[in-house]
Amino acid sequence: MQWADVAAVVTGGASGLGEATTRALSAKGAAVTILDLQVDKAAALVAELGGGTSYVATDVTDGEQVQAALAEAVGKGRELRVAVNCAGVGWASRVLTRDGTPHDLELFSKVIGINLIGTFNVLRLAAVAMAGNQPDEQGERGAIVNTASIAAFDGQIAYAASKAGVAGMTLPAARDLSSIGVRVNTVAPGIIDTPMLAGLPEDTRAKLAAGVPFPKRLGTPADYASLAVFLLEHPYLNGETVRMDAALRMPPK
C-alpha cells in the first residue's frame, strides 16, 4: 500500500484504540478523517497532527452522517483505501440480575446499534467508495479492519452479542467484497488500557493485568494500532478475526 496516496477513515478515532490508529496511519503518511462524537478531543488531535488529518462529527449508526464523513475523506484528492472501525461502547450486565431484574432492553439495543450496526454501516458505505478506486498490482482497491473483542467468545451478554456479530460478519463480508478487491479483517482485543479502564482503581487494574498469561500486562492502544496496520498492509490476510489478548481467556463471572 502506497500510504502517501491513501485516504483513510477511523471511527472512534479521537480516543483509545481509534486515536492510536489515527496516529499510526498519519505517521505512515495517510490522510486520515476521524469519525467521532468527541468534538474537543478530535479537534485537539487534528491540531496536533495537522497535515491531511481532519474530523467530521459522526454518529456511525446514521447513514447520512457517515456519507458526509466519507465525502470529506475522498475530497482530499486521494482514494479512500482504508477504513478502521473502532467506535464502540460497553455495558456489563446479566440477563437477570441477582434480584431477578431483566437486562435493560434499550441498553442492549444501544450496544448492538453502535458496535455492530454502526460497524456494518461504515463498512458498507466505505465499500461503495472503494469500489471506484483503481486496483493496485494485485487487484486490491481497499482494506477494512473492524474491532471485535475476546468478549465475542466469552463475555457479558450485550457486549458479547455485539462483538460476536462483528466477528461473525468478517468472513461473509470478505467474500462479498472480494469481487471488488477489498479485504476485510477483524481484531479481537483482550483487556486494553483505554479510557474505559482509566477510571478503575489502581488495585483493580493491577488484578486485571495479573490475570493475563504473557506478557503480564494490560494491552495498549499502540498494540492494537500496530496490528491494525499490519492487517491493512498484508495483502494475503483476508476474512480473519485475530485475537490480540496475550493468551487470556475470560472467566464466566
Give the per-residue pLDDT at 37: 97
- Name the pTM for this structure: 0.94
Return the amino acid letter for 158. Answer: A
Closest CA to 195 of 177, 213, 218: 218
Closest CA to 149 of 139, 159, 135, 134: 159
Distance in angstroms (rounded) separating the CA atoms of residues 227 and 110: 28
Distance in angstroms (rounded) separating the CA atoms of residues 83 and 118: 13
Closest CA to 194 of 12, 9, 8: 12
Rounded percentage of the chain residues whose pLDDT exceeds 90: 74
Q: Which of 55, 159, 224, 236 is catalytic?
A: 159
Domain at 3-194+221-242: CATH code = 3.40.50.720
- What are the pLDDT digits (tens) for 77-115? 999 999 999 998 876 676 767 877 776 788 889 999 999
Give the per-residue pLDDT at 205: 78
Closest CA to 162 of 218, 220, 92, 253: 92
**Residue 143, beta-bridge partner list:** 82, 183
- What are the pLDDT digits (tens) for 164-184? 999 999 999 999 999 999 999
**Residue 92, beta-bridge partner list:** none
Do the Cβ atoms of 195 and 205 come closer than 8 Å?
no
- In this prediction, the residues of the chain whose per-residue pLDDT falls under 50 are none
In Å, what is the CA distance from 22 to each residue of 86, 96, 109, 178, 243? 10, 39, 28, 26, 21
The domain segmentation of the chain, as residue ranges, is 3-194+221-242
- Determine the length of the chain: 253
Which grid cell sits at 205? 487494574
Largest CA distance in the chain: 61
Which grid cell sits at 59? 454518529
Give the per-residue pLDDT at 253: 62
Give the per-residue pLDDT at 57: 97
Q: Is 55 a catalytic residue?
A: no
Give the per-residue pLDDT at 216: 92
Give the per-residue pLDDT at 116: 97
